[in-house]
Amino acid sequence: MAKIIMDGQEYEVSDGISVVQAAAEVGVTIPHYCYHPSLGAPANCRMCLIELTPPGAPGPIRQLTTACTTRVGDGMEISNSAPRVKQARATTLQFLLAHHPLDCPTCDEAGECFLQDYAYEFGHDRSVYQEIKNVPPRKSLGPTVDLFTTRCIVCTRCVRFTEEISGGAEIGLMHRGVHDEIDVAPDKPLDNKLSGNVVDICPVGALVSKDFLYRSRPWFLTKKPSVCNRCSKGCNIHVESREGEVARLRPRYHADVNDFWMCDDGRFGYEYVNSPDRLRLPALRKDGELIPAGWRELLETAAEKIQALGGEQTAVITSAWMTNEELYAVKRLAEEGVGTERIGLFEGPVEDEDEVFPKFVIERDKNPNRAGAELIFGDGLKTAAEALDGAKAAVFFGGIPGAPLDDALMDRLTALEYLLTVDILPSALTEAADAAAPGTAFTEKEGCFTNSAKRVQRLSKALPNLGNALAEWQFAAYLANALGANIEYESAAQITDDLASTVAAFHGAVDEAIDWRGFCLEEKTDGGEAEETAPENWAYASRFWR
Partner 1 sequence: MAFEFTPERLAQFHELLTHYPEEHARAAMLPTLHLAQEQNGYLSQDVQAYVAGLLGVSEAQVLDVVTFYPMFFDAPVGKHIVRVCKTLSCDLCGCREIIEHIKERLEVDFDETTEDGSVTLLSSECLAACDQAPVMMINDDLHGRLTLERVDELMDALE
| Closer by beta carbon to partner 1, 168 or else 339 | 168
| Closer by beta carbon to partner 1, 187 or else 353 | 187
Which of 174, 291, 308, 428 lies at the binding interface for partner 1 (CB under 8 A)?
174
Residue 75 contacts partner 1 per CB under 8 A: no
Least gap, CB of 189 to partner 1 (angstroms): 10
| Closer by beta carbon to partner 1, 42 or else 310 | 42
Beta carbons of 388 and 413 less than 8 angstroms apart: yes
Residue 137 contacts partner 1 per CB under 8 A: no
What is the 3 state secondary structure string of 450-504? ECCCCEEEEECCCCCCCCCCCCHHHHHHHHHHHCCCCCCCCCHHHHHHHHHHHCH
Q: Considering CB under 8 A, how many residues would be counted as binding partner 1?
A: 16
CA distance 12 to 4: 6
| Closer by beta carbon to partner 1, 168 or else 225 | 168
| Closer by beta carbon to partner 1, 133 or else 175 | 175
Interacting span for partner 1 (CB under 8 A) from 86-94, 162-170, 271-279, 408-416: 162-170
Task: Give which of 406, 412, 474 is closest to 439, Cα–Cα.
Answer: 474
Interacting span for partner 1 (CB under 8 A) from 164-172, 389-397, 409-417, 508-516: 164-172
- Name, in order, each residue with C-beta under 8 angstroms of 113's C-beta and a sequence gap of 6 or more: 104, 107, 203, 204, 205
Least gap, CB of 176 to partner 1 (angstroms): 5
Which of 82, 90, 110, 169 lies at the binding interface for partner 1 (CB under 8 A)?
169
Residue 186 contacts partner 1 per CB under 8 A: yes
Residue 136 contacts partner 1 per CB under 8 A: no
Least gap, CB of 185 to partner 1 (angstroms): 4
CA distance 86 to 47: 10
Least gap, CB of 193 to partner 1 (angstroms): 17
| Closer by beta carbon to partner 1, 173 or else 493 | 173
Burial of 185 (C-beta count, 10 Å sphere; 0-12/13-18/19+): exposed
Task: Give which of 536, 319, 540 is closest to 442, Cα–Cα.
Answer: 319
Residue 472 contacts partner 1 per CB under 8 A: no
CA distance 208 to 223: 19
How remote is the C-alpha of 10 from its chain's centroid? 37
Task: Give which of 146, 200, 203 is closest to 171, Cα–Cα.
Answer: 146
| Closer by beta carbon to partner 1, 20 or else 39 | 39
Residue 176 contacts partner 1 per CB under 8 A: yes
Residue 139 contacts partner 1 per CB under 8 A: no
Which of 4, 184, 403, 483 lies at the binding interface for partner 1 (CB under 8 A)?
184
CA distance 359 to 525: 28
Task: Give which of 466, 506, 470, 502 is closest to 326, Cα–Cα.
Answer: 470
| Closer by beta carbon to partner 1, 170 or else 259 | 170
Least gap, CB of 38 to partner 1 (angstroms): 20
- Report 473-502 residues binding partner 1 (CB under 8 A): none
How remote is the C-alpha of 105 from its chain's centroid? 28
Least gap, CB of 136 to partner 1 (angstroms): 13
Burial of 353 (C-beta count, 10 Å sphere; 0-12/13-18/19+): exposed
Which of 4, 24, 158, 171 lies at the binding interface for partner 1 (CB under 8 A)?
171
CA distance 370 to 383: 12
Task: Give which of 424, 455, 443 is closest to 522, Cα–Cα.
Answer: 455
Residue 175 contacts partner 1 per CB under 8 A: yes
- Report 187-206 residues binding partner 1 (CB under 8 A): 187-188
Residue 67 contacts partner 1 per CB under 8 A: no
Per DSSP, the three-state class of 335 is: helix
Residue 170 contacts partner 1 per CB under 8 A: yes
| Closer by beta carbon to partner 1, 187 or else 490 | 187
CA distance 347 to 384: 9
Which of 42, 111, 136, 172 lies at the binding interface for partner 1 (CB under 8 A)?
172
| Closer by beta carbon to partner 1, 185 or else 504 | 185
Sign of CA dihedral 193, 220, 153, 155: negative
The footprint of partner 1 (CB under 8 A) covers 162, 168-176, 183-188
